[in-house]
Chain A
Amino acid sequence: MVSGLGKHKSETVEEIEIDLVPIMNTFLVLVPFLLLSAAFFHLKAIDTSVPVLADTQKDGQAAGPQEVKVTAVMEIKEKEILLSAISDSLGTEELSTWDTQIAKKGKEAEYPYQKVLVHLRKLKVRYPASDTLIIIPDGSILYDTIVQAMDAARYSDEKPLFPRVVLSGKVS
């Protein structure tokens, strides 16, 4: 009896082979299809706006530097970047201390964004509530340059600097 059962067991234990060929066929169709329609670039977005007419609300006159909001202004010219600040809460004298001019080293050279970043960082440290930057490029400035300027001004070491960007044309 025992030996009979043992014999039966050895007969049933057989290697079962799954037919993988149909699955392979499906994969061979699916993979080229997905490869053809796949996109290997990562599209990201920069939130920005253009100036519109709105009712302005004045900031509190007695507010300290911690609450005062200033708007950084970056003018991109052919050979230089002009930085300044505007605010309803601060006087012209104090605001003028934030005016600076950062020139390109050569005609074909890149703009010195590191210097721009240092200046904007100082402004942010002085007025931490500030978050808006107005970029005013010259007409001939390329879109790529504007995006690079936005990159330099929006975040510093992954901390927000001036994340709200307004792109404006020069008002003559």
Chain B
Amino acid sequence: MALGNRRKNARGFDVPKLQITSMMDMFTIILIFLLTCYSDKPEVVHLEKDLRLPESVAQSDYQENIKLVLSRSNLWLEGEIVATVQDGEIVGLDPEKLNNSRLYQKLVAYRERADKGNLARPDKPGRPDKPDKPDKLDNQDKPEKKAQEHIIFLCDKNIPFHTINLVTKTAAMAGSPNFQFAVLKK
């Protein structure tokens, strides 16, 4: 009936207003949820595609430390490939000469810097000349601070122990016998 109202039609067409209040509510909830996810753990861990972590009932949170990742194809130390893995065996990690491996040398370099209190990373030779900024962000990134603590070890769940043992033994020889095994919460 209202459509037939001549008086109303004479005023012209009213632009319909979209009710976006409920949509705003929805987006606000999603945004808060996502921001809470971020505040829970601000650090981003990049998991490799060929890395499947085991599940565990462990409750402890991991700490920001040196990251050692053993996937089905590579061994990574702080985002850098230090050895390759073939059929569950690490190529270039001789059980008899663990201290000749690249992993050992890299870890020793971290340890030496930890002992000396030098801020430079072993793979960034240009940095010692620069004055060190004692700010909070820089402190979090100090390799010497990290080397004194645990190594975060992310390992594929199908890697056999004899391979893991080589890695942990090498790390222990390099002065880092304590680990935090990263797992997925059950």
Chain A positions within 8 Å of B, measured between CB atoms, are 20-21, 23-24, 27-28, 30-31, 34-35, 37-52, 137-144, 146-148, 150-151, 154-155, 167, 169
Contact = CB atoms under 8 A, between A and B. Distances in A.
A75 to B, nearest CB: 12
Given A24-B24, A140-B160, A143-B159, A46 B31 contact: no
Looking at A21, A137, A147, the one whose CB has the most chain B CB atoms below 10 A away is A147
Nearest to A17: B17
B180 A45 contact: yes
A43 B184 contact: yes
A144 B54 contact: yes
Contacts of A50: 168-169, 171-172, 177, 179
8 contacts: A30-B31, A34-B31, A41-B184, A48-B179, A50-B168, A50-B172, A143-B161, A169-B169
Interface of B: 20-21, 23-24, 27-28, 30-31, 34-35, 37-38, 41, 44-45, 53-63, 150, 152, 155-162, 164-165, 168-169, 171-172, 177-185
Given A52-B172, A144-B54, A42 B160 contact: no
B78 to A, nearest CB: 17
Q: Is the interface of B mostly helix, strand, loop or mixed?
A: mixed
Given A42-B185, A52-B177, A139 B165 contact: yes
Contact of A45 (B157, B161, B182): B182
B185 A140 contact: no
Contacts of A20: 20-21, 24
A73 B63 CA distance: 28
Contacts of B55: 147
A166 to B, nearest CB: 9
Nearest to A152: B57
A14 to B, nearest CB: 15
Given A42-B184, A44-B56, A143-B158, 20 more contacts: A27-B28, A28-B27, A38-B38, A41-B185, A43-B182, A44-B183, A45-B63, A46-B60, A46-B180, A49-B178, A50-B177, A52-B177, A137-B161, A139-B160, A139-B165, A143-B54, A143-B159, A143-B160, A144-B54, A169-B169
B175 to A, nearest CB: 9
A139 B88 CA distance: 11
Contacts of B63: 45
Contact of A147 (B28, B54, B61, B62): B54
A47 B20 contact: no
